[in-house]
């Protein structure tokens, strides 16, 4: 039977709190890194299932079809 408060829990309390703090710190780093990376990407357009005329090739555009 698993007791809620085992002797092992008391003995390892400091270590468990330490590991918990490390995991929280790691999560904070990943979150912070995500925020910094996303906010430093510059203007970004996501695909939103709506036709965008500015992305369509124009017949009078000399660069059309050349990746321009």
**Residue pair 42/35 in contact by the 8 Å Cβ criterion:** no
* Rounded distance between C-alpha atoms, residue 57 and residue 61, angstroms: 7
Stretch that binds another protein, among 14-22, 41-49, 56-64 (CB under 8 A): 14-22
Interface with another protein (CB under 8 A), residue from 1, 3, 10, 14: 14
Q: How far apart are CA 9 and CA 15, in angstroms?
A: 10
* Residue 58 is a binding residue for another protein (CB under 8 A): no
Least Å distance between CB 48 and another protein?
A: 27
Considering only 36, 50, 51, 59, the residue that binds another protein (CB under 8 A) is 36
């Amino acid at each position: 039977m698993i007791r809620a408060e085992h002797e092992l829990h008391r003995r390892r309390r400091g270590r468990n709190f330490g590991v918990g703090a490390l995991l929280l710190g790691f999560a904070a780093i990943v979150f912070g890194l995500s925020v910094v990376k996303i906010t430093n990407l510059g203007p970004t357009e996501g695909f939103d299932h709506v036709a965008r005329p500015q992305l369509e090739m124009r017949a009078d555009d000399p660069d059309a079809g050349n990746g321009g």
